[in-house]
Structure 1
């Protein structure tokens, strides 16, 4: 994550990762505006480029070639990436309502979420048709359809409803790919029959006559049966029914028509057109609210209505970015006028394409190669990202804040106090904490519900108090997710000892800034933390928040345990199996992340694992007779294993091939990208009996990789190990694995031996 050099004065929130917003991110990466922070809220980390989607379906491109990595692009742009879905807007409080997190505050908001299918308008379509839009959902549906075709025996009929350019391209790509799949399996491709439906009587009605004729010839040559001028009014499991009374037997139906805006927009009070799209002025501001912008398919430019085509969304990216920057700086906005004519390159699935612009029509394989070159060049702008210079963006002196903003910035950073004067203001803190609700516990006698100088907590008879503390700086730009991970990490030691969490006291540092921004940051971070603490039954009872250059958070956590049943590190026994509940690799992945050397889905997966509580895992290990346990964190797997073997008086044999790894960790290790803590952890290699022989193994470096909110490492009786792993996987730890065995202590001073079983 990137730490801004000056306080945040304006928050621009981008909802959706469409073609316009990727342009905004790239523009702000090249020309950032001091004091302005971008936040992208997107349900999907990888957003597809619609122009290459038919080529992906046809098999000409890989998944990554047709998707823009939004998390990586946001990191490049210095923007925060919130992996969530917007479900509403509270315009009065200027907040975006999200599905799985607290509302996100904005000063300016831009919406670029594409369109959604209106399947409910046609009886049975929502149950039996496969919608192509929103495009972000299409990949999973397409892969499922591909697998069904591969497994199908006998004749099969596939229909596409919608004969615009997108529907025609999809139909031809589907036919090309699916028939090739059957040929590869030694089946007759003629078993597949294809039908194209549209309510319009004319194919490609927005294109010129020669384009329509060329495409009609292609469809005829490919033996695709066309049903035009008779709208589909009902869809059943095996048939399409039209308004004219005809029906057609089909096995699969894809829907490429009747798209509109998502239902939640209706509750925002924004002016919408009849299809539910947001009405915008020439500045791309909404007609209803100067603080909200819209672009791409979701926008309907009142003075310049255009068909829904990716070319317009792409062209809106730069003017949208400029007007967002101007609005943030209080400057007059500039109108945007979309082109009246545009180039459309319509592919036919078999590396052949038809060009259409006004009255011009061209066709051939050379047109497909032209389209391919244009598409790849476009994608390279967003996926082939250069390393940013240290002073990137400083040259944009035009973006100096207004006098009022500059004065506000100076007052926010000048003469910051030390000592107790560095505390975050009590008003800011109390407002933020008033919005969260820690769990209530009867054994908390004095806590946040009745604040005092310290908390008072009762320890029940027969229980002992377990105490631990953890603290670290933020490594991800989403404060809510960071708060969740910080709390989860701090609870790890409690669960590793077989204890139940009781109370937590927070310690945080927050960068100085404008009060409203600091309050929102504290609220987001502590909301995430309290969600995790509450789920664990752990009451937040107090804490301390001070100013610092970087965002950081930690917790002193108290737990309760029956002393006779506590799990300790020194209980390993010869014959035990070593079990690890979660995969390794957070150190190398988050060293690679700011260098733009990861894929967004790798980071998504890592963050998901880091938010996975060890509570259920600990209970499962106890149920299967675990003799010893610890959580794997900063010292890495080897460091924590040494902490177990030496006091237990045993040796272990560790199987490198059995170690579970996070997606992408092997790739970043292979590039030599290591955590800054790795060199200190490597000093423990003297604990390895055969480290010289095994040092060349590709997984060797993972032994020293520091983990954040890592899994549990436990010694379990061998006869319980397989059942324990199976139970762990059923309880939400899919990569839990047996990684080694415990043996009697030998003569060698090094307690850990390495093998590679595969």
Structure 2
């Protein structure tokens, strides 16, 4: 996580990962604006480049070649990446409302979310058609369609509705790929029948007659039926009906028309056109709210209306970035006028393309190679990122952000040397506002809790219970305070669950970087909202804490738990027995993945999967393990798998055998350790290698370094009777611990000093 040298003075929030916004991120990466924080809110970590999507469908490119890794690009730009979806705007509060997280505040907001299929305007289209837009969701639909067609023999009729360049290009790419897939499987490619439907009298209506004639020849030569002047009004299972009442058979229907603005925009105060697109002026600002900008397909530039084409979104990136920068620094904005004519390179699916611009028409394999060169060069701008600049220790640049008098005073205070001790606490008013909406779970045994005016909590210990205490604290490893709060709470609760205890109360301690009071308040609110969601789900009441200012965002909890004084008591590390199976409930690899992420060496989807695992509570897993006879348990954290297993073997007076091939790994972890991207704690953990018998024989194994990888909010490691291990594993999988695995077994203590034996 990059730490800003300047306190945050203004927030620019980007909603959507479209082509304009990737341009904004790259320009701010090349020239950061001191005091300005960028935040990208996007549902997916990887955004497709529309110009290469047909080539991907045709099989000429793989997934990573046609997708921009937004999480990685945001990290490079020093921007926060929030993986979520916007669903509304609070104009008065200047907040973006999100589907799965607290609202995000902004000073300037930009929207670049593309268009949305308006399938509701045609009866049955939502249920029976596959919409192409938004294209970032199309990949899953395409993979499903590809699976159905290639694995179900028999005639398949595929219809594409939409006669623009997108529909024609997609249809030709699909035909090329699917026919080749069938041929490779020894099936007759003529099992497939393709048809194009368009309400217009011609297809490719915005291109010249020579371009249309060229594609007419391609469609005819490849046996594709073209239905012009055919307005589809009803979509049913396996068929389409046009406005004349005629039915057309179609087993698969792809929808490439009738796109409009996202439905949630209608509930905002933004001025929209008839299709639901945001009306913007020459500066790309909304006509109804100058704090909000829009670009790409979602924007309708009223003075310069243009076709919805990716070229305009790409070209808008620079003026959008410059105007956002001007808006937060109080400088005049500049007007942007899109070009009247543009070059379109339209592929035919088979490494052949047609160039179209005005009356120009050029065609050939060389045009496809030209297009391929242009597309790859564009993608390299965002995926082949130059090395990140090292901190040279120079004083931070002076911020150009325009501030009012009160903000100026706060900014000076934030930059100046701060007091220590209690003088470093976050102000009472700021803290009370941030915490006022938090609602900890109510427990009868909490007598004085979070919202009481007292100096400490008062908690009753129920009869027949013993207290279990633990504490954890660490600095933020990602720029999303809400998700960080969830992970930190999960991490702290792990020790309680590992001992078979019930979480009762938690006390928080946090440090927050200095800044304007509103920015500090927002960070505390986001972080503690995430934490309290996890604590409440565990039945654990947040009863108090301490929040101070510091250089880095950090959070920890002192957690109290309860366990029965009668019966089995606590699950300790010393309860392993020979013959037991060793079960691990979550995959490992968080240390190397986040070390790689900080150095731009991890794919965004790897980090997504890691965060999903880290956000998964160990509560149900602990119950399941105990129900299946677990006699010893621990949670994997900073010492890594080997360190925590050694902690179990010593007091249990046993040896243990680990199967390296059985270890559940987070996606990408093996790649990042192979690249030498390791956690800073790894060298300390590697000192425990002396606990491995015949250690020298394993040092070159690709999974060997992961034995020492420190985990954050890792899974539970437990000893379970061998005869109950498979049933336990099945139950864990059913409860959502999909990668839980039997990773080894407990052995009788041997004569060798080393307690750990490896195998594969």
With normalisation by structure 1, the TM-score equals 0.98
Instruction: Measure, in 2, the Cα distance between the counterparts of 1:188 and 1:159.
Output: 19
Q: Specify which of 442, 456, 459 is matched with residue 457 of structure 1.
A: 459
Return 397-406 or 681-690, whichever deviates more.
Answer: 397-406
Q: Specify which of 729, 735, 738 is matched with residue 733 of structure 2.
A: 729
Q: Where does residue 493 of structure 1 map in the other structure?
A: 495
Q: Where does residue 98 of structure 1 map in the other structure?
A: 98
Give a deviation string over 1:278-332, Cα, whole Å, max 9, x none. 0000000000001000000000000000010000000000000000000010111
1:617 deviates by: 0.3
1:411 deviates by: 2.7
- Which sections of structure 2, spanning at least 5 residues, go unmatched? none
Instruction: Measure, in 2, the Cα distance between the counterparts of 1:640 and 1:416.
Output: 39
Q: Where does residue 747 of structure 2 map in the other structure?
A: 743
State whether residues 30 and 393 of structure 1, in contact with CA within 8 Å, keep that contact through their aligned partners in structure 2: no
Q: Specify which of 476, 480, 483 is matched with residue 482 of structure 2.
A: 480
1:182 deviates by: 0.8
Q: Where does residue 275 of structure 1 map in the other structure?
A: 275
Return 701-710 or 556-565, whichever deviates more.
Answer: 556-565
Q: Where does residue 22 of structure 1 map in the other structure?
A: 22
State whether residues 567 and 628 of structure 1, in contact with CA within 8 Å, keep that contact through their aligned partners in structure 2: yes
1:565 deviates by: 2.5
Which structure 2 residues correspond to residues 294-305 of structure 1 after superposition, within 5 A? 294-305=294-305
Which structure 2 residues correspond to residues 68-83 of structure 1 after superposition, within 5 A? 68-83=68-83
Instruction: Measure, in 2, the Cα distance between the counterparts of 1:296 and 1:305.
Output: 12
With normalisation by structure 2, the TM-score equals 0.98
Instruction: Measure, in 2, the Cα distance between the counterparts of 1:506 and 1:407.
Output: 29
| 1:288 alignment partner, SS class | coil
Q: Where does residue 586 of structure 1 map in the other structure?
A: 590
Q: Specify which of 713, 729, 732 is matched with residue 709 of structure 1.
A: 713
1:678 aligns with 2:682: yes
Instruction: Measure, in 2, the Cα distance between the counterparts of 1:360 and 1:37.
Output: 44
1:447 deviates by: 0.7
Instruction: Measure, in 1, the Cα distance between the counterparts of 2:532 and 2:203.
Output: 57
1:403 deviates by: 7.2
1:61 deviates by: 0.3
State whether residues 470 and 490 of structure 1, in contact with CA within 8 Å, keep that contact through their aligned partners in structure 2: yes
Q: Where does residue 173 of structure 1 map in the other structure?
A: 173
Instruction: Measure, in 2, the Cα distance between the counterparts of 1:97 and 1:450.
Output: 30
1:398 deviates by: 9.7
1:177 deviates by: 0.5
Give a deviation string over 1:461-517, Cα, whole Å, max 9, x none. 111010000000000000000000000000000000000100000000111110000
| 2:293 alignment partner, SS class | strand
Aligned residues: 756
Return 394-403 or 599-608, whichever deviates more.
Answer: 394-403
Instruction: Measure, in 2, the Cα distance between the counterparts of 1:166 and 1:300.
Output: 19
Q: Where does residue 645 of structure 2 map in the other structure?
A: 641
1:84 aligns with 2:88: no
1:599 deviates by: 0.2
1:413 deviates by: 2.0
Instruction: Measure, in 2, the Cα distance between the counterparts of 1:615 and 1:203.
Output: 58
| 1:565 alignment partner, SS class | coil
| 2:264 alignment partner, SS class | helix
| 2:441 alignment partner, SS class | coil
State whether residues 506 and 544 of structure 1, in contact with CA within 8 Å, keep that contact through their aligned partners in structure 2: yes
Q: Where does residue 413 of structure 1 map in the other structure?
A: 415
What is the CA RMSD across the aligned residues, in angstroms?
1.4
Return 217-226 or 20-29, whichever deviates more.
Answer: 217-226
Q: Where does residue 65 of structure 1 map in the other structure?
A: 65
Q: Where does residue 423 of structure 1 map in the other structure?
A: 425
Q: Where does residue 657 of structure 1 map in the other structure?
A: 661
Instruction: Measure, in 1, the Cα distance between the counterparts of 2:394 and 2:107.
Output: 23
Cα distance change of structure 1 residues 395 and 576 upon mapping to structure 2, 3 Å threshold: closer
Instruction: Measure, in 2, the Cα distance between the counterparts of 1:12 and 1:269.
Output: 19
Cα distance change of structure 1 residues 541 and 96 upon mapping to structure 2, 3 Å threshold: same
Q: Where does residue 508 of structure 1 map in the other structure?
A: 510
State whether residues 30 and 392 of structure 1, in contact with CA within 8 Å, keep that contact through their aligned partners in structure 2: no
State whether residues 36 and 401 of structure 2, in contact with CA within 8 Å, keep that contact through their aligned partners in structure 1: no
Instruction: Measure, in 2, the Cα distance between the counterparts of 1:643 and 1:277.
Output: 60
Give a deviation string over 1:365-412, Cα, whole Å, max 9, x none. 000000000000000000001112125999997973447576653232
- Which sections of structure 1, spanning at least 5 residues, go unmatched? none
Q: Where does residue 186 of structure 2 map in the other structure?
A: 186
1:689 deviates by: 1.3
1:138 aligns with 2:138: yes
